[in-house]
Structure formats: structure tokens, C-alpha cells
């Protein structure tokens, strides 16, 4: 099926969001200081700590979200309320450095996941379905483009394909066992795969708050960028999924690639 003109415009907007520069580029634009090279130079021990903090944050956020997400009726997403909440948590934890990150990140991640679910619901997702809820978690693995990305149209769909099996297995488990804790093996595997990608953005956030010039802006400002980035990823991702429910995945992916060629 061919996408209508209005749906093609929605897809083009989604593509722009999904290919928006990553968090490091946004921080650099705000403070005029590059972050990506600093991340590459991080000691392995620090990277491991951030990976572990990210994994725990996602696990706690998933447990909370599975219990409290309200399917509700589709309506406009409340982006600004969630930005305020995440900004407040960042302002409270930003002064404590890495130690504060371990306390603040689970709170921020839970709020972000709620915001992503709000966006998903606004795009017609049925949040009573385990797959839809796990797709909210998937958004945390969508990083946007960076200096190292090739910016090809395959990037977004390749990222989805990489997690497809893990999401399918976790969805099946949740359908059979209900809102189980994140300690189930299939959920542990999914959380670990998402955390490995999410930790890159967490590293960028942590380093930005540690840089004196940027630190003066406060943890709240960095967290506002943090959630804004993932709200964009969520809006792009769930717009694509809405169109796929209407036209089928193959038609939407072909149209997406066609936009890139243009």
C-alpha cells in the first residue's frame, strides 16, 4: 500500500526526529564543549560502573512501569510535566557527582519511561499489551545519530531488528506470567541489551554534569536535554509503529528508505 500524503508527512517528521543528533551533540550545542571524545577516553572501570547503574535503573523502571502504566484513552502527551519532573530530579542529584547518579538515574529513567508510554498512548498504542510496554523500554536504546553514525536510512530499522527477538521473548513471557519482576531471565537479557545502548547516553549525561562549564548549568538543565532527546526518539518510534499498523511494516520501511533517497 502507498502511504497517503498526510501519513508520508508524518513519516518524514518521524524520520527527522529519529535521525536528530544524539545527546552528546545537543550538549555540545548548549555548552560549546564536545563530549564524545571524552567518553572514548573513559577508564574501563568508570564505564563498567555506568553500565551497571544503567542496568539497575532500567530494571527498576521496568518493574514500576509494568505495575503502574495506565492504558487509558489516546490523547496529547504531557511532555512538559515529565520534563519538569526529570529536571527536578537532576537538580537534586547533580551536585553529588557519580554517587548521585546511582540514586538519581533510576528516578529519572522511570519518569522518562512514563513519558515515553504517554507518547506511545497518544499514537494509539494499546498499553495493556506486553509488547507495547516493552517497546516503550526499547526507546531507551534509540540513541539518534552521532559523529560515528553513518546516518543511513537503515540505522533505525537495524536497531529495531537487533532487539526484535529479545522483545518477542520477553513479551511472550509477560503474556503468560503477567507483570513479573525484571529478574526473569528473558527480561534480564532484554534489560542488559538495552542498557548497553542506554549507558552511552548516561555516560554523556554524567560527563556533562562533571565538566565545570556545563556543570554551572546544573543537573536540571542536563536532565531536560536528556528527556527531550528520548521524547523525540519515542515520538518518532511510535509514529512509525502507528503507520505500520495501518500499512504494514514493509510498506512503511520502503517509504522511509524512499525519503532518505530523496
Q: Where are the domains of the chain?
A: 5-142+151-261
> Does 99 have pLDDT greater than 90?
no
Q: Which residue has the cell 512503511?
A: 252
pLDDT tens track for 113-126: 888 988 999 999 99
What is the average pLDDT score of the chain?
Answer: 78
pLDDT tens track for 24-79: 677 766 655 555 555 555 556 677 888 888 888 888 787 776 566 666 666 667 66
pLDDT reported for residue 16: 92
Question: Comparing 57-61, 99-103, 210-214, which segment has the lowest mean pLDDT?
Answer: 210-214
> Does 146 have pLDDT greater than 70?
no
Which residues, in sequence order, are bridge partners of residue 21?
A: 145
pLDDT reported for residue 149: 44
- Which position has the higher pLDDT, 181 or 166? 166
Contacts of 23 (CB under 8 A, 6+ apart): 143, 144, 201, 204, 205, 225, 226, 229
Over the range 166-195, which residues count as b (16 or more CB within 10 Å of their CB) and which as e? bbebbbebbeeeeebebeeebbeebbebbb
> Does 213 have pLDDT greater than 60?
no
pLDDT reported for residue 248: 96
Quickly state the pLDDT bin for 151 (edges 50, 70, 90). Answer: very low
> Does 111 have pLDDT greater than 70?
yes
Amino acid at each position: 500500500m502507498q502511504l497517503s500524503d498526510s501519513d508520508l508527512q508524518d513519516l518524514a517528521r518521524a524520520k527527522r526526529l529519529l535521525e536528530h543528533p544524539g545527546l552528546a551533540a545537543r550538549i555540545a550545542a548548549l555548552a560549546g564543549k564536545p563530549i564524545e571524545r571524552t567518553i572514548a577516553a573513559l577508564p574501563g572501570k568508570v564505564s563498567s560502573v555506568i553500565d551497571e547503574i544503567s542496568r539497575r535503573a532500567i530494571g527498576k523502571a521496568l518493574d514500576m512501569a509494568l505495575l503502574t502504566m495506565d492504558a487509558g484513552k489516546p490523547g496529547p502527551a504531557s511532555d512538559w510535566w515529565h520534563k519538569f519532573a526529570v529536571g527536578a530530579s537532576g537538580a537534586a542529584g547533580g551536585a553529588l557527582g557519580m554517587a548521585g547518579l546511582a540514586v538519581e538515574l533510576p528516578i529519572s529513567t522511570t519518569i522518562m519511561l512514563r513519558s515515553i508510554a504517554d507518547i506511545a498512548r497518544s499514537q494509539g498504542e494499546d498499553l495493556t499489551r506486553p509488547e507495547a510496554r516493552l517497546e516503550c523500554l526499547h526507546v531507551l536504546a534509540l540513541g539518534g545519530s552521532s559523529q560515528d553514525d553513518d546516518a543511513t536510512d537503515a540505522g533505525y530499522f537495524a536497531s529495531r531488528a537487533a532487539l526484535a527477538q529479545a522483545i518477542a521473548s520477553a513479551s511472550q513471557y509477560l503474556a503468560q506470567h503477567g507483570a513479573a519482576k525484571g529478574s526473569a531471565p528473558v527480561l534480564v537479557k532484554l534489560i542488559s541489551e538495552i542498557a548497553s545502548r542506554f549507558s552511552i547516553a548516561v555516560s554523556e549525561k554524567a560527563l556533562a554534569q562533571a565538566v565545570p562549564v556545563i556543570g554551572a548549568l546544573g543537573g536540571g538543565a542536563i536532565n531536560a536535554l536528556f528527556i527531550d532527546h528520548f521524547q523525540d526518539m519515542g515520538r518518532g518510534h511510535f509514529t512509525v509503529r502507528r503507520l505500520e499498523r495501518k500499512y504494514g511494516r514493509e510498506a512503511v520501511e520502503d517509504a522511509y528508505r524512499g525519503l532518505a533517497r530523496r
